[in-house]
Each structure stands twice: as structure tokens, then as C-alpha cells.
Structure 1
Amino acid sequence: MRNTPSKGRPGQWIGDMTVWLRENSPDNSEQMDRLRRNLQAARAQELTPRQQQVLELYYDRHLPTTEIARLLGVRRSTVSRTLCRARARLYKALRYSL
């Protein structure tokens, strides 16, 4: 069965499954709105100013870690560690918010 050729394009069933799931899943827009509000509050309350700055540059302005490191005058590994610590703090703050 493993070598049985499939009909249609390879991976087509993944797209079909995605459409089916989207059409048949319950609406979670209220939960997503609550999560977005809680995320904004957690970014302001739980993170250090440096972590807020790095998150803003990385996620909001879409800068790569090397560019952030150059702008802040630190090593790329420092930016990566700061991002990791910020994500961990946000996870702890938000894991029970839904």
C-alpha cells in the first residue's frame, strides 16, 4: 500500500482537509480576541523594557535577529536569548488565559 500511486496532485488531500476543517470547526473569534487583548497586556506588564523592544523589532517590524543586534549594539545570540526569555514569560502569563 505504501507505494500505491495516489490520484490527483500530491498533497491535495491536505488542502481539502484544511478547507473541511475550516468550514466545520466552531467559531473561535471570541477566544482569539481575548488572547490578543491579554497578549498586549502581558507584553506591557510582564516583560522588561529590553524584551519589549526586541519583541517589537522582531514581530512588529519584522527585522531579522542580525539586524536587531546591529541596531542595539549587542550580539545576535543576546537577541536570540532575549526573544526566548520573552516568549517564556509570555507563555507563563498567557497559558491559562483561554
Structure 2
Amino acid sequence: MAVYTRTISSDNGAEHQRLKRNLIRALQEEVTPLQRKYLLLYYSEGLNMREIADRFGVERSTVSRTIHRGEERLRRCLRYGAAALLARSG
């Protein structure tokens, strides 16, 4: 059982790294620059939507909508475009 658990864990680690590479590539290629900026501030920097809105002088609803659209593009890319991303990543 321990060997099986280690094998599964290592498989998950490789899958996790592949998903991470694909996500980074999708962020670079599939979302707009503004979506990327807001997504990174929200998820990486931990800013809330009000803080992002205040920083850029826009409404919170604009930030929310931009983040939501970026997330949708990433979902579609990772769901339907993953094969193309993998083929290009070599």
C-alpha cells in the first residue's frame, strides 16, 4: 500500500506540474493583458476586488467582470485547448 501511495503521489506531482505549466502558458497567451493583471493581483497578491478597483480607478463591478471573463477564458483553454498547448510545449 505504501508503494502504491508513493506512486500515486508522484503521478499527481507530475500532473500538477503539467497543469501549472499549462496554466502559466494560458495566462500568457489566452487572456487579455488587463485580465492577466487583475487575475494576478487577485490570486497571487491576494488583493480583493475593491482594492484592485481603487488602485486602477475603476468600479468594483468592472474588476469583477474582468476577472470572471478571464477565468472563463482560462477554463475554456484548459478544458478544450489543453491538447494544443501540450503539443506546442514539446
Q: TM-score, normalised by structure 1?
A: 0.71
Counterpart residue number, 1:49? 33
How far 1:42 sits from its partner (Å)? 0.3
| Structure 2: gaps of 5 or more residues | 84-90
Which of 15, 38, 48 aligns to 2:22? It is 38
| Shift in alpha-carbon separation, 1:76–1:30, aligned structure 2, 3 A | same
Amino acid at match of 1:42: A
Count of aligned pairs between the two proteins: 76
- Which of these two proteins has the greater Rg computed from alpha carbons? 1
Alignment partner of 1:59 is 2:9: no
Instruction: List per-residue Cα deviations over 1:46-92 (Å, max 9, x = no partner).
Output: 01010011011101110010000000111000100011100000001
| Shift in alpha-carbon separation, 1:37–1:24, aligned structure 2, 3 A | closer
Q: 1:89 and 1:41 mapped to 2: Cα distance?
A: 13
Instruction: Within 5 Å, give how 1:1-98 maps onto structure 2.
Output: 26-27=8-9, 28-96=12-80, 97=82
Q: Report SS of the residue matched to 1:79.
A: helix
Amino acid at match of 1:51: Q
Aligned-pair identity in percent equals 45
CA RMSD of aligned residues (A): 1.9
Q: 1:48 and 1:35 mapped to 2: Cα distance?
A: 20
Amino acid at match of 1:68: I
Higher helix share: 2
